[in-house]
Amino acid sequence: MSERTERSEGRGRMPGQHGMSERTERSEGRERMPSRHGMSDDRLDGLSVRDVRVSFDGFTAVDGVSLEVPAGDIRFLIGPNGAGKTTLVDAITGLVRATGSVCFGDQELLGRPVHRISRLGIGRTFQTSTIFEELSVVQNLDIAAGGRRSWATLARRRRGIPDEVAAALETIGLTGRADQLAGTLAHGQKQWLEIGMLLVQNARLLLLDEPVAGMSHEERDATGALLETVSRDRTVVVIEHDMDFLRRFARSVTVLHAGRVLSEGTVAQVQADPRVQEVYLGHPVDAGSVPSGLEA
Amino acid sequence: MTAVTPAPPSTASAPAPADSAPPSRSGGRSRLRAAVGFAFGAALLFAVAPLALSDFRLALLAKYLCVAMVAVGIGIAWGRGGMLTLGQGVFFGLGGYAMAMHLKLADAGPGGMPDFMQLYGQLDELPVWWRPFASPWFALPATVLLPMAFAFGLGSLVFRRRVRGAYFAILSQALAAALVILLIGQQGTTGGTNGLTDIQGFFGYDLDDPVNQRTVYFIIAGVLLALLALARQLIHSRYGELLVAVRDSEERVRFLGYDPASVKLVAYVVAAGMAGLAGALFVPAVGIISPALIGIVPSIEFVIGVAVGGRATLLGPVLGAVAVAWARTALSERFPGTWTYLQGLLFVVVVAFLPGGLAALWALARRRDVGEEQSRRGWSALGRRRAERAEVPTA
């Protein structure tokens, strides 16, 4: 129940910020989050992408993208197929070579190998489920939790369930399935397990590539609630095609088109942007189709 | 909205302790089962086999057990780590030649030269790289460390460049071919095609004496059990879980902050060490090491045994290797010339119809029981979840 109120409160706030510039909204966000939740040990950092370019053999997939994701945000990246959303995430996580600058907090990410970027607290999921199907749920989480384990620890057997793994199991609601083979989980549960793996990995920036694709309505709701729980002490970036999901759970949106940022702002701002209507939605949207929740 | 919600932290705290119990319990049970299994295996190898088999058959079994040691390593590298090591003959050969060089020098006595060097007659004194092998303190560790060091160097290059799958298999096989060509080419110092033959003594004991042959068998059986214990520890450790994760999704592991190259490297190096040890013990058991025993064909035969037995299990590779080697001897005795075809057929059948090996049949039979148990547990978890949900509105 508590998420519901928090969410409608968040939604109610958005139209009020209509007139604000991006910068004031961002700085407000940065101050607000740590004080509200009193997080002391886990630092909240924002993501800052400046003029990032990725090209493959002459084809420029990402063409000078700059965006700022404030700490604690739930940022949705949307855009038509081929807009460069996944490639941008690939660049941030070190999977493809890119020029420009990507900073998380004060750490530059570009130029580091994938596993080092991951150790700085950047976690991602993929469009296809990439859990370890031959291992149990708890083994999946335990491996995710162990990125900094010494070889001596690795050589020993796991005894019981580590605290952070137990906590993640609760958060993602799979406590009762801890010993089940991950490959036998339902589709939605696999996605939650992926998110759980990012949590125990201590990722402070979560990059999720289409987390609700193929999910039922109930599973989408649950995933949204999970994202809101998670974003209390983390920054979340979601690539998503599902517009209903976006309207309900996005705190801010960046629209990419042909490798560039087309528009950025709240859901309402982006939906009202005529360029977005033209390019992304394919036709202008009349006022009546904006969900009533956004106007509250 | 409450249907399948990942429960928010406040509501789901209750069931956690109940669920953390089972793994440790089943861990205890599996340890007990392993202890019983090892005791059974030891009884079989140390009591039953020596009593039931003739000296000739026991010597053959010793040879099979050496092949089984290589199989344990392949089970780790290929079965758990996904690296199809088609060139384990290289490491087997390095270990075998290191041991044989020492034994040849020991046979020749202090200051002497191995017989074949005098035969080919081009050398006045021992080649420099033979000299350290005169000392057992160098030669014995070298049988294991040399293959491991070689695997480390090779693996560092190969895994960091993300060579895998068929490319890795072809590369490792090419290496086996290269080593054979090198050994044959350097006939004056390596014995060429003949290899190092006619090894008489083993640290002062005459290898022609059946009692000493029996002792060699016991050493081999003991080492095999020790390697199995090591493999078991490795498989059940966190590293073992991680290795399976790398096998199934290398990229994902990288995104979890591990370097998959070093994870694979460890398994590869361990497998190489096991193959080296097997080669070293093969020499006193059989009395010869030659290029024909370490080239492409034997390298593939190592893998066939593992595939037949079940590569991802602990015992599958061992039983498969022994069974295939035994079948080879038995069938070549009766129908000479047909074994090669049968072996090929066996491999095709296993790969096509039984990718998990014979162990998969065993697992299939067991899964029926486990499956029932698991579905029961699943239902009870669901019931508990329902109960929780019912509590939420009243709270």
ipTM: 0.71
Decide if A154 is inside a domain.
Answer: no
Task: Give the E-state strand segments of chain A in sequence order.
Answer: 47-56, 59-69, 74-78, 99-104, 107-108, 122-124, 205-209, 235-239, 252-257, 260-265
Decide if A82 is inside a domain.
Answer: yes
Task: Give me the pLDDT at residue B112, please.
Answer: 82
The chain B residue lying nearest A128, using CA atoms, is B252
pLDDT in tens, B43-69: 999 999 999 999 999 999 999 999 999
CA atoms within 13 A on the CB side of A109: 31
Decide if A178 is inside a domain.
Answer: no
Collect all residues of chain B within an 8 Å Cβ-Cβ radius of residue A221. Answer: 1, 3, 5
Cα dihedral A68, A74, A80, A83 in deg (nearest 10):
30
Decide if A89 is inside a domain.
Answer: yes
Q: Helix H segments across B186-259? A: 187-190, 210-236, 238-248, 250-255
Decide if A148 is inside a domain.
Answer: no
CA atoms within 13 A on the CB side of B1: 14
Pick from B5, B239, B255: which is nearest to A173 by CB? B5
The enclosing domain of A33 has a CATH number of 3.40.50.300
Paired sense of beta strands A205-209 and B201-202, if any: unpaired
How many domains, in total, are found in chain A? Answer: 1
What gap in Å lies between CA B116 and CA B121, rounded to an integer?
A: 8
Collect all residues of chain A within an 8 Å Cβ-Cβ radius of residue B255. Answer: 93, 114-115, 118, 123-124
Minimum distance, in Å, between the CA of residue B362 and any CA atom of chain A: 18
- Report long-range pairs for B197-206 (Cβ below 8 Å, ≥24 apart): B197/B116, B197/B287, B197/B288, B197/B290, B198/B115, B198/B287, B198/B288, B199/B100, B199/B103, B199/B104, B199/B107, B199/B283, B199/B284, B199/B287, B199/B288, B200/B107, B201/B103, B201/B106, B201/B107, B202/B103, B202/B284, B203/B106, B203/B136
- CA-nearest of A182, A45, A50 to A121 is A45
Are the C-beta atoms of B4 and A174 separated by less than 8 Å? no
- CA-nearest of B74, B87, B94, B97 to B177 is B87
The chain A residue lying nearest B370, using CA atoms, is A180
User: In what helix (H) or strand (E) does residue B129 lie, and over which residues does it extend?
Assistant: none
Collect all residues of chain B within an 8 Å Cβ-Cβ radius of residue A144. Answer: 256
Collect all residues of chain B within an 8 Å Cβ-Cβ radius of residue A172. Answer: 6
Decide if A172 is inside a domain.
Answer: no
Pick from A118, A134, A223: which is nearest to B257 by CB? A118
pLDDT in tens, B317-365: 999 999 999 988 888 888 888 888 888 888 888 888 888 888 888 877 7
User: pTM, whole model, 2 decimals?
Assistant: 0.77
Flag whether residue A259 sits within 8 Å of chain B, measured between CB atoms. Answer: no
Cα dihedral B302, B303, B305, B308 in deg (nearest 10):
180
Task: Give me the pLDDT at residue A23, please.
Answer: 37
Range of the domain at A194: 2-130+189-295
Pick from A132, A147, A218: which is nearest to B244 by CB? A132
Look at A124 and B1 and tell me if their CB atoms are within 8 Å. Answer: no
Look at A157 and B24 and tell me if their CB atoms are within 8 Å. Answer: no
Quick one: tokens of A284? 């202008």
Q: What is the number of H-type helices and E-type strands within chain A?
A: 12, 10
Distance of CA A255 to the CA centre of its chain: 15
List C-alpha distances in Å: A205 to A104, B111, B211. Answer: 8, 68, 67
The torsion angles phi and psi of A110, rounded to 5 degrees, stand at -60, 140
Task: Give me the pLDDT at residue B209, please.
Answer: 87
Task: Give me the pLDDT at residue B102, please.
Answer: 94
User: In what helix (H) or strand (E) does residue B202 lie, and over which residues does it extend?
Assistant: strand B201-202
Angle between helices B296-309 and B166-185 (to 10 degrees): 140
Look at B248 and A132 and tell me if their CB atoms are within 8 Å. Answer: yes
Look at A180 and B9 and tell me if their CB atoms are within 8 Å. Answer: no
What gap in Å lies between CA B66 and CA B93, rounded to an integer?
A: 12
Paired sense of beta strands A235-239 and A205-209, if any: parallel
Task: Give me the pLDDT at residue B27, please.
Answer: 60
Decide if A251 is inside a domain.
Answer: yes
- Per-block average pLDDT, block size 10, for chain B (395 residues)? 39 33 54 88 92 92 96 95 93 96 90 81 81 93 97 94 88 94 90 89 87 93 96 93 90 85 95 97 94 92 92 92 91 84 86 83 70 46 40 34
Decide if A151 is inside a domain.
Answer: no
Per-residue burial over A245-270, b if 16 or more Cβ lie within 10 Å, else e, is: bbbbbbbbbbbbbebbbbbbbbbbbb
- Residues in contact with B282: Cβ distance below 8 Å, sequence separation at least 6, in sequence order: B63, B66, B92, B96, B289, B293
What gap in Å lies between CA B98 and CA B281, rounded to an integer?
A: 11
Pick from A156, A171, A201: which is nearest to B6 by CB? A171
Segments of chain A scoring below 70 in pLDDT:
1-42, 147, 280-296
Task: Give me the pLDDT at residue B280, please.
Answer: 96
Distance of CA A42 to the CA centre of its chain: 17
Angle between helices B16-43 and B210-236 (to 10 degrees): 170
